[in-house]
A and B are shown apart, each in its own frame.
Chain A
Amino acid sequence: MSTETLEQAIVKEPSEPLFSKRRKKFITDPLNDDNPITIQVLGICSALAVTVKMQPTLVMSIAVVFVVVFSNLIISLMRNIIPGRIRIIVQLAIVATLVTLVSEFLKAYLFDMYKVLGAFVGLIITNCIVMGRLEAFAMANKAYDSVLDGLGSGFGYAWIILTVAFFRELLGSGSVFDFPVYGTIQNLTGFAIPTNGLMVDSIGAFMVLGIIIWIQRTKNGYVEH
């Protein structure tokens, strides 16, 4: 009897369910409690510049999720054969290759979007979230876990910049995904709402992000010392 349970325990141990509690945390933690932008203060650089309109922001989010997931996967597969001293260069080379892929893909299939995003696609290379996840997670964890972690961080980043873009486009240009909200209201009610030029400017992004951080931290009780 006792040997049977022992065997069962051994067999059961490696087959952890695909979405066990531990693995779910990889995805849900970065969304709120450990958000890469608002709590860890990473990846703000290349993100905010594209948040004037929703559409380029969405493309940017997809690109970042792609890069962080695949670089996490590749690094975690290679982690045992990378010498410690040159790991930063190896990581940068892999990230740069993936970003080049994204940039060439945009140039080929979404050229208008490529022109709008411009140099900022290239700047995903220096996005601290990607480097941070590679250093802190992929170098020490298995491939599948690293993919989940990449997805979590990517989505955590995406929802913040999409929220910023929503308010900046709505208040600054009076539209959402290029659908003219203010114009429609004016047509229906005859009541004209002025748009706010400050929101189109970079200053709007700082203000909106500051307020989002304020609300989020008040809600989850995180205090920085």
Chain B
Amino acid sequence: MEAFNIFIKSAFIDNMIFAYFLGMCSFLAVSKKVSTAVGLGAAVIFVLTITVPINWLLQEYVLKEGALTWMGADFESIDLSFLSFIMFIAIIAAMVQLVEMVIEKVSPALYGSLGIFLPLIAVNCAILGASLFMVQRDYTLVEATAYGSGSGFGWFLAIIALAAIREKLKYSNVPNGLKGLGITMILTGLMGIAFKSFIGIVL
């Protein structure tokens, strides 16, 4: 039950975009059309659901202070946590490579429409951010998985909602300087206010 609460909380209340500004670059760049936004959102859910538990195992059994105890008493005092950035990003880059190969095989059309943004998931801060927050908050393996998939789902919701608004925005009269990035920022802020209303919900 705790894991389910974490899923809901990370999707709506601690939403990656509206509460932490993570993954903004691809969020802003790929949200012009709903169809591509759905593809990228699904890829992000997948990568997050897989990498967060893998990084949890890595942190728990390799990197944390005293994590190497399973190798023998000599390794008890070793603290490799300074390596966490490099290890996490390596896992993420490997997973993104995998997703890229799978999408290319299964759905070449989607692969073509995502183009450069697919490899860019590797530098999507939402993915690395989820791994770092997971360490900070001392989740268990199940909770970490729920957290990963929940944040992925929240990111998916956010990008689809914004893409839907931006498709309509094409037909409206926006001041020249505000076109594109400016109005998108303000829209994201307004959507953020809507998401704030979830804060009152006690889980």
Q: Which residues does chain A contribute within 8 Å of B129, judged by CB atoms?
A: 119, 123, 126
Q: Which residues does chain B contribute within 8 Å of A201, judged by CB atoms?
A: 192, 196
A115 to chain B, nearest CB (A): 11
Count of residues in A whose CB is under 8 Å from the partner chain: 49
Which chain A residue shows the least CB distance to B185? A210
A218 touching B177, Cβ below 8 Å: yes
Q: Which residues does chain A contribute within 8 Å of B19, judged by CB atoms?
A: 202
A209 within 8 A of B: yes
Cα–Cα, bound, A103→B88 (Å): 15
Cα–Cα, bound, A49→B24 (Å): 11
**By DSSP majority rule, is chain A's interface helix, strand, loop, or mixed?**
helix
A202 touching B185, Cβ below 8 Å: no
Cα–Cα, bound, A95→B165 (Å): 36
Contacting residues of chain A (112-150) with chain B, CB-CB under 8 angstroms: 118-119, 122-123, 125-128, 131
Contacting residues of chain A (169-225) with chain B, CB-CB under 8 angstroms: 201-207, 209-211, 213-218, 222-225
Q: Which residues does chain B contribute within 8 Å of A209, judged by CB atoms?
A: 185
B125 touching A46, Cβ below 8 Å: yes
Which chain B residue shows the least CB distance to A92? B89
Q: Which residues does chain A contribute within 8 Å of B83, judged by CB atoms?
A: 100
Q: Which residues does chain A contribute within 8 Å of B177, judged by CB atoms?
A: 213-218, 222-223
Interface size class of B (residues with CB under 8 A): 35 or more
A126 touching B21, Cβ below 8 Å: no
Known: A88-B122, A123-B129, A206-B186. A214 touches B25 (CB 8 A): no
B21, B22, B83, B127, most chain A CB atoms within 10 A: B21
B188 within 8 A of A: yes
B193 within 8 A of A: yes
Cα–Cα, bound, A100→B81 (Å): 10
B25 touching A41, Cβ below 8 Å: yes
Known: A45-B23, A202-B20. A125 touches B89 (CB 8 A): yes
A residues with CB within 8 A of B: 38, 41-49, 88-89, 92-93, 96-97, 99-100, 103-104, 118-119, 122-123, 125-128, 131, 201-207, 209-211, 213-218, 222-225
B residues with CB within 8 A of A: 18-25, 28-29, 82-86, 89-90, 93, 119-120, 122-129, 132-133, 136, 175-186, 188-189, 192-193, 196
Given contacts A46-B22, A92-B93, A202-B21, 18 further A-B contacts (CB under 8 A): A43-B25, A44-B21, A44-B28, A45-B21, A45-B126, A46-B125, A49-B21, A100-B83, A122-B128, A126-B125, A126-B127, A203-B192, A210-B178, A210-B182, A210-B189, A217-B176, A217-B177, A223-B180
Sorted from nearest, which 4 A-B pairs have the closest CB atoms? A224-B180, A206-B189, A210-B185, A218-B177
